[in-house]
Amino acid sequence: MKKYIVELIGTFFLVFTVGVCVVSPNVGAIAPIAIGSVLMVMIYAGGHISGGHYNPAVTVAVALRGRLPMVDVLGYIIAQVIGACLAAGAVYYLKGANQLVDSAAPVYGIGKIALVEFLFTFALAYVVLNVATAKANAGNSFYGAAIGFTVAAGAIAVGPISGAAFNPAVATGCMILGLIPAGNFLAYIAAQLAAGAVAAAIFRILNPEDK
């Protein structure tokens, strides 16, 4: 239960930061830094308890890599989604419907959106597996920064295309807030979870001795 509570808290602050930054016009270009930073500090805060996933795609990757018992996967994902929903509610309460961005008509097609979500979710999961679960990097102090900066880089690079969710929990919160179209939601989730699974497969191929 401690692990699930940590996952809920970390996901809450990640999604809350995403929501507030996106609907705050004065944040602008520094939003990716704020989002990457809050992910980094929440990973450092909770990594020793739960691993600091805060992302169902990362949970899938870590489980398939063999560093999370399969019996914990559903509990992690439920905690993450609950945290995302609570964060969306908090953003809605603070900002109100009149300040929320309506993304019902995305500029880019679903194929391009799915592609960039897959690529940077893969990058995120790949980095997590290598810096936070690989035996060769055990006990390092840079894992949180590496993961946070991966998200920040992705948000800067492809944020205008997909909104840079890279995370089914973030996508859930953004859908609730109207920041991504509901009709595209399943494409986000499928691309992100597939990316996590592929990252785990690549890690295992590249590190066959790291069981």
Range of the domain at 30: 2-206
- What does the alpha-carbon distance between residue 195 and residue 198 come to, in Å, rounded to a whole number? 5
Q: Is residue 175 part of a domain?
A: yes
Domain containing residue 84: CATH number: 1.20.1080.10
Quick: pLDDT tens for 77-113. 999 999 999 999 999 999 876 666 554 446 789 999 9
- What does the alpha-carbon distance between residue 14 and residue 205 come to, in Å, rounded to a whole number? 31
Q: Is residue 150 part of a domain?
A: yes
What is the reported pLDDT for 107?
75
**Closest among 91, 116, 111 to 175, alpha carbons compared:** 91
Q: Is residue 211 part of a domain?
A: no
Q: Is residue 57 part of a domain?
A: yes
What is the reported pLDDT for 103?
47
The answer to whether the beta carbons of residues 128 and 61 sit under 8 Å apart is yes
- What does the alpha-carbon distance between residue 87 and residue 11 come to, in Å, rounded to a whole number? 8
The answer to whether the beta carbons of residues 128 and 58 sit under 8 Å apart is yes
Total domains, the chain: 1
- What does the alpha-carbon distance between residue 48 and residue 139 come to, in Å, rounded to a whole number? 11
Quick: pLDDT tens for 148-160. 999 999 999 999 9
What is the reported pLDDT for 22?
85
Q: Structure pTM? A: 0.94
**Closest among 150, 105, 101 to 125, alpha carbons compared:** 150
- Residues (pLDDT < 50) of the chain are 103-105
Q: Is residue 148 part of a domain?
A: yes
